[in-house]
Amino acid sequence: MIQREQYLSKLRKYRNKQVIKVITGIRRCGKSTLLKLFQRELAEDGVEQPQMIYLNFEDMDNSHLLDAKALHQYIKDRLQPGNTYVFLDEVQMVPSFEMVVNSLLLRENVDVYVTGSNAHMLSGEIATLLSGRYVEIKMLPLSFKEFVSAQGKTQPGLSSLYKKYITSSSFPYVLELEEDRELIRDYLEGVFSTVVLKDIMARKKIGDVMMLESVIKFLFDSIGSLVSTKKISDTMISSGRKIAPQTVESYIERLMESYVVYQTKRFDVKGKQHLKTLEKYYVADVGLRFHLLGNRQADTGHLLENVIYLELLRRGYDVFIGKVDQYEVDFIALSREETLYIQVAATVRSKDTLERELRPLQMIRDHHAKMILTLDEDPEMNIEGIRVVNALDFLMQ
């Protein structure tokens, strides 16, 4: 198993704290494995097996527990005199699950961990009921650094591994398929079908699967580009498929809820305000994009942009697209500690390209860090306080 240290450290931090640990993320990103890794740590720390209750609600053996009262009684009957650790995997499949975990939280010495593949599980009335009683740990597929660490001692250079990373997949299980393209293709098809059919169509009663797939392909093909629901609608109509912008918006919301795509809004740097028009979308796994679009090539810079965006999320930043007059900054990354302005480009060895990437950053007159991330394997440069850094080195930090 790959040690997902970034997420394990958070579980350790909140162990035995009176909050529900909610692990969310796209299917197959490693949530169940993370629970198993944590259970193994607990066992090594002296926690006995009866003190750990693990239930996966995708397992048919647990179908009789897809009722809130039955589930609550089952767990209550198995609580131990000392600490009991309760792990509920894909808990969104249990109607009114929030009442169960809320009730468990009222008991002393019960530590609750749940996973879910749909953001809807933390919305509306559920969020109100659990308000202040849970922490969300947002999980993504493997980072580039995790991917590299799993390759073993006889690994090729970072550039070769990066190509492998974006063309195969960052889903952890793909590493076990030993670069068999046919097996990887079948696995990714299974992931995609499960997300679309089980998490989106069935849950939201969407009938037109072909139209949904058309919208998904449009978003996957447009990563790193400004788009709008009207633009997507107009494109569909021009190809003979009539769809309203409101329907497109509904589809995108479902995709975001299932953590398939992430939306990034624009921010006016000089005006210090969020902009309501045009967004960018990034996909949770670039390999899934290659699978769905076949041999259609994306701009190398946009693929790198997607990878960098997900890495910034992993590092805990809130990420926006920056607007400076008529120019665009690829990312403004905000945290409590710092603000980063980042440009992403496949290469800046051309003088014109370098000047183009520098220009928006040079127009920002504050003291925050500014950098350009590129695949160029050149020594780091510093131009008027703007660092030009190899993107793979940045990902490996």
- Predicted confidence band at 331 (pLDDT cuts at 50, 70, 90)? very high
pLDDT at 208: 82
Contact call for residues 184 and 242 (beta carbons, < 8 A): no
Is it the case that residue 378 has pLDDT exceeding 90?
yes
Residue 125 pLDDT grade (very low, low, confident, very high; cuts 50, 70, 90): low
The string of DSSP letters for 10-61 reads HHHHHTT-SSEEEEE-STTSSHHHHHHHHHHHHHHTT--GGGEEEEETTSGG
Of all residues in the chain, what percent carry a pLDDT higher than 70? 97
Q: Residue 295: what pLDDT?
A: 65
Q: 54: Cβ–Cβ under 8 A, 6 or more apart, which residues?
A: 35, 39, 87, 89
Going by CATH, does the domain composed of 5-138 fall within 1.10.10.60? no
The torsion defined by the Cα of 147, 150, 142 and 36, in degrees rounded to 10, comes to 180
User: Distance between CA atoms of 215 and 84, rounded to whole angstroms?
Assistant: 45
User: Which tens digit of pLDDT belongs to each residue from 232-267?
Assistant: 999 999 988 889 999 999 999 999 999 999 999 998
Cα–Cα nearest to 361, from 350, 349, 348: 348
Class of domain 145-396: mainly alpha
Mean pLDDT, residues 154-178 taken together: 89
Query: Residue 127: which pLDDT band, with cuts at 50, 70 and 90?
Result: confident
Percent of the chain with pLDDT over 90: 77
Worst-scoring range by mean pLDDT, 126-135, 223-232, 278-287?
Answer: 126-135
Task: Decide: residue 312, CB within 10 A, 0-12 exposed, 13-18 middle, 19+ buried.
Answer: buried
Span 64-120, pLDDT tens digits: 999 999 999 999 999 999 899 999 999 999 999 999 999 999 998 999 999 998 887
Q: Which residue has the tokens 């494995």?
A: 33
Domains of the chain, residue spans: 5-138, 145-396
pLDDT of residue 155: 63
